[in-house]
Structure 1
């Protein structure tokens, strides 16, 4: 949009009309400023410039929330160490936030700033928690002034808002305008002068004094669309602000321009070429996730939610992300289901939970409500779908129940640790397990019951283990999951209890017991006191959730596959973590727990690359030389013969400098992954040998292996999985090789290429 008649006194103007590239023109000085963006120079994916989208006039720039910003250098004459004093300053800009920052250390996510609050110099226009916003300035004489948006004038997500901030020193006024109208004013001494921060660059989208997280991530960055940023040397009048607003509306038929969701959503496209990012495992479009949870089937579709920070690939302000699928294989990204809001329920985070059905059969979500002003700061809360009101087939919209349903009291578990409700319904009502511990002892799952889903009665500890015997079970349990396994061969009804220990001394893995439920006392009696591991991959298969699939009757477990990378690499990559493959768990004839990848995954098979039977290790390896890939499914059965160790090397370079070995050791009865040579990349930390106990009881070794870029998942004899990560430094680490300490018979080997689900 060209400058209008109302643009007298304009000193800087970014129209963001480039529409492409990594530069933004400041029109007054004709300076092209670099747009900093993580993928301008990418190590693991194809380099690309920042995304440009439809704006209120021409195009706009989409800021990713953690790496995108513009630095406009101060002119040399301004860099003499002395502040410049201005009698007036006005800023006008169109913004459409995508998400809100948590507000660490009380700092603003900057829209535009050139400030030093400690020195009481400069100016800062930015956003705070839950969409509130502020204009802050340093005055000559060392005074810092702030003006804040009033309640009801927050900047809404995914919508364009026209924001103006005005400092009028001569008249002694600060003013804020939203969409052409004045919403706030504050008095400063008449004749005040703004002290421009010396030796400080003007930054767009990044705070001059960002807090650091993990020594890598700058907090307080703007996330969303920005357009038509103008700065003036005079105080804009009410009429000038209103005129500028109406000028844009006139170009859009008299209404405020709308933001198309596809223009502002997180876009997974730049990550599809990432050579380490899994392509048939479920993942957020970008940025951070931890555990997937709350699986539920409704109206022909499976829904799965996940812990998500939409601001960047780091653990911070947690929301519920959302996927939907018709087959548990191909998933679609949906908008964020639950976000922290300006309320007394969960302003500080929407933490893990589960899904079940209400009395009418409609889905409901139970979640951990984070409220740092409450004690404890965790409670159990509920959200309902709007399906019945607006026929929302994808369950995109959810309404939170205004009050927490279960609030921890003293004597109810370990006070202050109370989270991750797992809720189920039967003919008698609703039941909930909540992760906690026993004061002064170990972890526990606490039991609750309800007749109406809203009023809950504490039933005591559902189950707790002996912390003295099993110290690795830790002081606190998270993410309890309870699933019916049906009857064993003696007709006894059995259940499965999963937990994830945390805290001092805890081994953060998924442990389980098979046992019986005492429904009268709402407690669990395990068949064996010692817990078992579902996966022996050492912190790559964690964060369990589960459901009984009403379509097939199967019990399906979902997990997070931890990324095992440094914060530096997560910054550079733009993503952190993904889900594991959905697995079916069941009670075997021998009383042990069976674990298998779901059969629907066969729909991902592409070309069959190899099929052989009854070959020696040497013969099989001759045929394997022609097979390369990092998205493969492999089914392998090997007869031991005289070998003490047998397995397969994956992600091998031709010279063997990089490789990952998966093998079974009969002498030790161990399933192992040797990552000693997995990666030569100096920043990657996938190292060492991982694994755990597995009794094969005389069976052949049967490996069902999934390679998906950095993901390596092995399912062995239907009894255990081993999930690990491989981030080879070299792009030619694509080979396969069978391995053993003696020649052995390869009973069968089948290999398929696998397709992306995105």
Structure 2
């Protein structure tokens, strides 16, 4: 074990012991200490879910990337394991960037990641070189392959850029290992490349999976590629996007491309959509559960919103709640992992409540809840033009969810949540025209809100860093609505 890894492991144990449990979310994974970004190596190994993550243990800002590590039996309660990797190799001395994990034929766990090193070019400019590397271990300790990198610039196809080449996602199929990797071409366009291996160690270029053709952003990061409900799905996170109506927003976004494989095994796209329509969601990664469900977790943050933080917290960044994903009518459906029901506490239900102005309901409050609100007109014709849920409210700070049934738009807004920064505080999305009826399911967990619209047709996520004592929830309508509310308090078991 290198001195860098030993130091990181010793530091995180000491630092974690100093963080009060109540200063973290109840269920969303945060870094053991310091900084967290992309999920890495979301996988099953030895009967448990493993989740690695981009990690800088020493400060709550991005630094030389390590791999943090946690495991879970049920996707919800996570236990920290020792830091898995530090930037201590010749091929990764500037950082161990994002990647994935899989169990090998001999029972060991294979980590596939992007190693980053810096070199000075002939023109005197220092540039990053990104190559694909591996490490192999037993679920706790990992040894980097002595001949890293296993995929270098010499394995790139013509026109591929050698500086932005990262985030390998590995899987096994028909007795072989496959990997997709994000790349930015020499003419600054995103594309996803596929590689193949017989043993997970020696890799060869296979083919181009998809090219952006300058449609969605520039570099395509963090790809995931899998079969789902008879279709082929690619998830990726484009950088530097331009907005398109309310489907895609400026900056760093998420993209789900749905299609089919033709007789030659080539990907033919049929539909493109955003994955999450909120403020904070990036770099999702999936795993196939033993029962056949495809589960997804993302970084519930965004590079454009890193200024929204609690400066008094010894951690930064959290993962989303795990989501079950499926397809319906060639569109992505996302629902909270059903394991959440195992953590339900007190149940409170109110049916056919008439809201004509602003109202609070007895016992409907909290910051660790799973709440479903069904809203509909009180008459046959549309009886209202706006509905609002206000939460994390202490009379001064609050956040809101608004629904406009005329324009069919849902908006999330945290500008009054206590932030002193003029960063992204609002996001809107277009929803189905259901004649004023909508179902809004909120997962609140101390420092986050995830909104599942119409049984998972769309999701909007955001961090909320208002003091956890702000537990108020209220409802407001311009006009009249009928509302059903079912709320479960969430509790650690």
| TM bucket, shorter chain | 0.7 to 0.9
- Cα 1:263–1:349 change in 2 (3 A) is closer
1:270 aligned counterpart, secondary structure: coil
Q: Distance in 1 between matches of 2:409 and 2:13?
A: 49
TM-score (norm 1): 0.58
The structure where strand makes up a greater share of residues is 2
Number of the residue aligned with 2:113: 367
Structure 1 residues 453-487: Cα deviation after superposition (integer angstroms, max 9, x where no partner): 222222332101231xx3xx222110001121122
Matches within 5 A, 1:158-177: none
Number of the residue aligned with 2:164: 417
Aligned counterpart in structure 1 of residue 86 of structure 2, from 317, 321, 339 = 339
Number of the residue aligned with 1:710: 447
Contact 1:289–1:578 at 8 Å: present in 2 too?
A: yes
Aligned counterpart in structure 2 of residue 658 of structure 1, from 376, 381, 397 = 397
Q: Distance in 1 between matches of 2:281 and 2:358?
A: 31
Q: Distance in 2 between matches of 1:279 and 1:674?
A: 23
Aligned counterpart in structure 2 of residue 537 of structure 1, from 274, 278, 283 = 278
Structure 1 residues 493-514: Cα deviation after superposition (integer angstroms, max 9, x where no partner): x021111112476631211111
Number of the residue aligned with 2:54: 307
**How far is 1:396 from its partner?**
0.6
1:435 paired with 2:175, answer: no
Q: Distance in 1 between matches of 2:374 and 2:403?
A: 12
Number of the residue aligned with 2:222: 479
Q: Distance in 1 between matches of 2:278 and 2:5?
A: 43
Number of the residue aligned with 1:350: 96
- Cα 1:305–1:156 change in 2 (3 A) is closer
**How far is 1:547 from its partner?**
1.3
Gap runs ≥5 in structure 2: 121-126, 243-249
Gap runs ≥5 in structure 1: 1-98, 100-129, 132-154, 159-222, 225-260, 388-394, 488-493
1:381 paired with 2:130, answer: no
Number of the residue aligned with 1:643: 384
1:751 paired with 2:470, answer: no
Number of the residue aligned with 2:246: none
Contact 1:565–1:685 at 8 Å: present in 2 too?
A: no
1:581 aligned counterpart, secondary structure: coil
**Which of structures 1 and 2 has the bigger CA Rg?**
1
Contact 2:385–2:404 at 8 Å: present in 1 too?
A: yes
**How far is 1:646 from its partner?**
2.3
**How far is 1:439 from its partner?**
2.4
Contact 1:279–1:709 at 8 Å: present in 2 too?
A: yes
**How far is 1:599 from its partner?**
0.4
Number of the residue aligned with 2:26: 279
1:611 paired with 2:349, answer: yes
1:627 paired with 2:376, answer: no
- Cα 1:428–1:517 change in 2 (3 A) is farther
Matches within 5 A, 1:24-423: 131=3, 157=6, 264-267=13-16, 269-274=18-23, 277-341=24-88, 343-373=89-119, 377-385=129-137, 387=138, 395-403=139-147, 404-409=149-154, 411=158, 413-423=160-170
CA RMSD of aligned residues (A): 2.7
TM-score (norm 2): 0.88
Number of the residue aligned with 1:582: 322
Structure with more contact order per residue of length (Cα contacts < 8 Å, sep ≥ 6):
2
